[in-house]
Amino acid sequence: MTKLTISLAQMRIKLARADENLATATNMIAQAAADSADIALLPELWSTGYDLENAREHASNLGEGSFAQVADAARQNRIAVYGSLLERRGDRVMNCAAFYDAAGELRGVYRKIHLFRLFDEHLWLSEGEAPDLLQAAWGAAGLAICYDLRFPELFRRYAVAHGAALMLLCAEWPLARAEHWRTLLRARAIENQCFVAATNSCGETGGTVFGGHSMIIDPWGQVIAEAGTDECLLTAEIDLAEVQRVRRAIPVFEDRRPDAYLGR
């Protein structure tokens, strides 16, 4: 299986209104399934937005609350789903992205490593401890959340150490830095010769206007599909075989010289 259809659910998140956001998310998941998508990507913290002062009240254990609702939606619609929620983990709260397969089974968990100080994440949340590589029937994918996009080392590890052909990223990225978003997504695809699928939120939430422009990018850095700034569902097909063709054409990984520049 090399061809994969991905839907990006670009949501206008309502701050701290989990029931309304769940209704939007489940409707978009159902529409993605109707469009024959294999995966639906939801934005970062799609259930609550950045209502971090009340993060402990919103958070649930993995497998419960909103996590369980997503698993149910994946299973009922026979589609894989990826997006982040607030997770209660012991006495900590974390920004946790979970990947559920089309049977509603948990296949990947990534807890955000790089906390975004401009939104006070470091005051309310605990850092993730390690990257997480998703192993699926169609191959390996790197998992990431929003601010991680500014740290190329994470994506390089996924590509070089694990051969990931696809990066999945969920975000709440502000409109004020939309050009950073677009440029960095293309850079991560080009430098790692992989597909990048990234879902952003849109519209105003909690006083911040988010930028939309959810995108799917190919290993050459060409934009396959891009949303505007309104709420929408964007669906496109990718052919993962293209990754190996590009990596053979320009053997970047073979020409790396970590002995010359790492650890110095």
What is the mean pLDDT of the segment spanning 100-124?
Answer: 96
Query: How many helices and strands in the chain, by DSSP H and E?
Result: 8, 14
What's the rounded Cα separation, in Å, for the pair 19 and 17? 6
In 3D space, the residue among 46, 1, 16, 6 whose CA is nearest the CA of residue 201 turns out to be 46
Q: What is the pLDDT of residue 261?
A: 86
What is the mean pLDDT of the segment spanning 190-212?
Answer: 97
pLDDT digits (tens, 9 = 90+) for 140-153: 999 999 999 999 99
Q: Name the token pair of 93.
A: 């709260």
What's the rounded Cα separation, in Å, for the pair 124 and 163? 34
Residue % of the chain over a pLDDT of 70: 99
Q: What is the pLDDT of residue 262?
A: 79
Work out whether the CA dihedral 213, 198, 188, 210 comes out positive or negative.
positive
pLDDT digits (tens, 9 = 90+) for 55-106: 999 999 999 999 999 999 999 999 999 999 999 999 999 999 999 999 999 9
What's the rounded Cα separation, in Å, for the pair 11 and 3? 26
Residue % of the chain over a pLDDT of 90: 95
In 3D space, the residue among 241, 162, 152 whose CA is nearest the CA of residue 188 turns out to be 152
Q: Name the token pair of 259.
A: 């002995």
Contact 108, 139 (CB under 8 A): no
Tell me the residue type at 85: L
In 3D space, the residue among 90, 113, 114, 110 whose CA is nearest the CA of residue 100 turns out to be 110
Tell me the pLDDT of the chain averaged across its residues: 96
In 3D space, the residue among 236, 240, 256 whose CA is nearest the CA of residue 35 turns out to be 236
Q: Label residue 259 by pLDDT band (50, 70, 90).
A: confident
> Does position 121 have pLDDT exceeding 60, yes or no?
yes
> Does position 264 have pLDDT exceeding 60, yes or no?
no
Catalytic sites, residue numbers = 44, 112, 146
Q: What is the CA radius of gyration of the chain?
A: 17
> Does position 216 have pLDDT exceeding 60, yes or no?
yes
pTM assigned to the model: 0.96
> Does position 253 have pLDDT exceeding 90, yes or no?
yes
Q: Label residue 1 by pLDDT band (50, 70, 90).
A: low
